[in-house]
Amino acid sequence: MTALARRLWDHDLAHAFRHDPLAILSAIVVAAFLIAALLAPVIVAKDPFDLRNLDLIESLLPPGPGRPLGTDDQGRDLLAAIVYGTRLSLVVAVLSVVVSLGLGVTLGLIAGFAGGFLDAFIMRAADIQLSFPAILVALLVDGIARAALPGDMHARFAVPVLIAAIALSGWVQYARTVRGLTLAERSKDYVQSARVSGVAPARIARAHILPNVTGPLFVLATVQIATAILTEATLSFLGVGMPPTSPSLGTLVNIGNNYLFSGAWWISVFPGLALVMLVLAVNLLGDWLRDALNPRLG
């Protein structure tokens, strides 16, 4: 165990990390958000998503003793709502990146390895996909889900629908990257050597090419998590994401938007700040990772 810790500590990446204060700072911020999201029930006394815990008498109270960030229009403690909202935002963002990563890598690998008609088909689909703004694709998926599912069902399936919507708008980046790298790897001799030994094409793609094209995806996925958090917040702000009964950060900003001019500024401002800090920290971490892994910037 100590040997492993030693190796991690001595790794180039760990070394680069220790010498970059900005990376350390953003890692601390991201870690703080992650811990808060993971330990939400421990940190917060009352579950803000449980309607029985809400008391309208306490609604729209400004920050003060016992409610450091104030309350929203339903009488939720805003700090509790932000902690639970962050949890939702992170779950949606991470899962949607995982799904779009899986989708993009699979399609990119097939396109690059099979070539010919499949390649043309997948990459033209990607081109078409890219000509739509991500938000539009997500809105489309949400609209279809809304039409297909009855009203109360939709609220319950909000999270999977959001994940699908964001994942579907994000796979193209991975597919393009993986396809390009696959084209380069495909002609290398280790692939030819596997062919000589009779390894089946599907196994060559999975066991030989895939491990050699995943490197750049790390960086891409990190940056995409920030994008996914923003897309989720945008959709929720527009009212097509998380419902007001279980608000994410974007939903909270939206709720606060209605009360901004009546002086209840805290409902929008604090979730908004949390969102900005989270996205900024993830982005900075992604940038650092890209620079640290790029041998040419050494």
Partner 1 sequence: MMLLDARDLACTFPLPRSLPDRLARRPRPGIAAVAGVTLGVARGETLGLVGESGCGKSTLARLIVGLHRPSAGSLAFDGTVVAPTVRDRPPALRRRLQMIFQDPYASLNPRWRVGDIIAEPLAEQPDAPPPAARREHAAELLARVGLSAADARRHPHEFSGGQRQRIAIARALSTGPDFLVCDEPTSALDVSVQAQVLNLMRDLQEAEGLTFLLISHNLAVIHHMANRIGVMYLGRLVEIGEKTDVFARPRHPYTRALLATLPRLDGVRRPREAVAGEVPSALSPPSGCHFHPRCPFARARCRVEAPALADGVACHGIAEGWIPS
Q: Which residues sit at the interface with partner 1, rule CB under 8 A?
A: 188-190, 192-199, 208, 211-212
Cβ of residue 189: shortest distance to partner 1, in angstroms?
4
The helix/strand count (H/E) of the chain reads as: 15, 0
- Which structure tokens are listed for 265? 């500024």
Identify which of residues 192 and 294 has a Cβ nearer to partner 1 in the complex: 192
Q: In angstroms, rounded to a whole number, what is the distance separating the alpha carbons of residues 197 and 124?
A: 34
Cβ of residue 196: shortest distance to partner 1, in angstroms?
5
* Distances, alpha carbon 191 to alpha carbons 109, 176, 207, 273, in Å: 14, 21, 10, 50
Identify which of residues 201 and 239 has a Cβ nearer to partner 1 in the complex: 201
Read off the amino acid at residue 255: I
What is residue 261's DSSP assignment?
Answer: G
Q: In angstroms, rounded to a whole number, what is the distance separating the alpha carbons of residues 160 and 145?
A: 10
Cβ of residue 191: shortest distance to partner 1, in angstroms?
8
Identify which of residues 75 and 216 has a Cβ nearer to partner 1 in the complex: 216
Identify which of residues 128 and 200 has a Cβ nearer to partner 1 in the complex: 200
CB 111 within 8 A of CB 278: no
Cβ of residue 142: shortest distance to partner 1, in angstroms?
39
